[in-house]
């Protein structure tokens, strides 16, 4: 049985096609201004990869901030539930999920059956969300993807005292003017980001196993700093962490069809 999940986020839109227990394809695109268009485009891409047509999909579940505007979706589920579902499906030992997206951050606690028992969200302050890293990468004239790798080359990581993105930006500029290496800047930025996210995670009473989802989970510098701040290992997921919301949506679709 083939089902799909589509996650329309503020910055990226993701789709996953699932055949029973196998992910047969997935796609990821930048979100456009129009959520319907983003959803259709990403789904077309995923279908093409799988060599399928829309009629082959028994059910598609939508999630993400633009979920109400996905034309081909009959059912929608919250992002929190989808991230929990997707992560638990991949890693049944997961009890804490940290999802850091482009404009928000969530810490989700699961029970042994994978039910959400507690969660905290920050979408009020850019600090501790992907947006913080985006602002900093732009300031350093780096691609967002480079920021994570650079961390490992740092010798003397800078310390950022401020929480606010606006103040941190000013702090980084001061360091840039004193010729601090980009690696030392990147490491300090990733560490500040991790420190901020850790506060939210501690607030849901973290429990092992811990895993990270969302685009920021691809930043190895942030992941390493999170392990340090939380003092627990972060379990790597076997698929792209950015598609976990869409995967969870697809798992919901499968369960719905199975009558669960």
| Number of residues this chain uses to bind another protein (CB under 8 A) | 13
Query: Shortest distance, CB of residue 254 to another protein, whole angstroms?
Result: 35
Cβ closer to another protein: 173 or 203?
173
**Binding-residue pattern over the window 63 to 102 for another protein, x denoting contact by CB under 8 A:** ----------------------------------------
Cα separation, 141 vs 135, in Å, equals 10
Cβ closer to another protein: 21 or 178?
178
DSSP 140: T
User: Does 137 sit near another protein (CB under 8 A)?
Assistant: no
Cα separation, 146 vs 232, in Å, equals 25
Phi-psi label, residue 49: left if phi above 0, alpha if psi -120 to 50, beta otherwise = alpha
User: Does 173 sit near another protein (CB under 8 A)?
Assistant: no
Coil, strand, or helix at residue 182?
A: helix
- Among 54, 166, 173, 205, contact with another protein (rule: CB under 8 A): 166
DSSP 163: -
User: Does 135 sit near another protein (CB under 8 A)?
Assistant: yes
User: Does 180 sit near another protein (CB under 8 A)?
Assistant: no
Residue 69 makes CB contacts below 8 A (sequence gap 6+) with 8, 35, 36, 39
List of residues contacting another protein (CB under 8 A): 103, 124-126, 131-132, 135, 162-167
């Amino acid at each position: 049985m083939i089902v799909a999940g589509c996650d329309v986020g503020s910055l990226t839109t993701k789709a996953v096609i699932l055949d029973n227990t196998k992910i047969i394809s997935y796609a990821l695109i930048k979100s456009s201004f129009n959520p319907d268009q983003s959803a259709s485009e990403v789904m077309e891409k995923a279908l093409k990869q799988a060599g399928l047509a829309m009629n082959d999909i028994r059910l598609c579940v939508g999630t993400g901030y633009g979920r109400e505007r996905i034309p081909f979706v009959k059912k929608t589920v919250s992002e929190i539930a989808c991230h929990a579902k997707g992560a638990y499906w991949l890693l049944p030992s997961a009890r804490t999920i940290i999802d850091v997206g482009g404009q928000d951050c969530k810490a989700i606690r699961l029970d042994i059956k994978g039910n959400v028992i507690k969660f905290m969200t920050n979408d009020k302050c850019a600090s501790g969300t992907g947006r913080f890293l985006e602002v900093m990468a732009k300031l350093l004239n780096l691609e967002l993807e480079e920021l994570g790798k650079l961390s490992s080359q740092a010798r003397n990581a800078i310390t950022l005292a401020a929480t606010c993105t606006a103040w941190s930006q000013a702090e980084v500029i001061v360091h840039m003017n004193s010729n601090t290496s980009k690696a030392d800047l990147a490491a300090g930025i990733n560490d500040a980001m991790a420190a901020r996210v850790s506060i939210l995670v501690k607030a849901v009473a973290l429990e092992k196993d811990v895993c990270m989802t969302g685009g920021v989970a691809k930043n190895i510098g942030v992941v390493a700093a999170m392990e340090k701040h939380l003092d627990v290992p972060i379990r790597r997921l076997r698929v792209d962490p950015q598609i976990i919301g869409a995967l969870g949506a697809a798992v919901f679709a499968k369960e719905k069809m199975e009558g669960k």
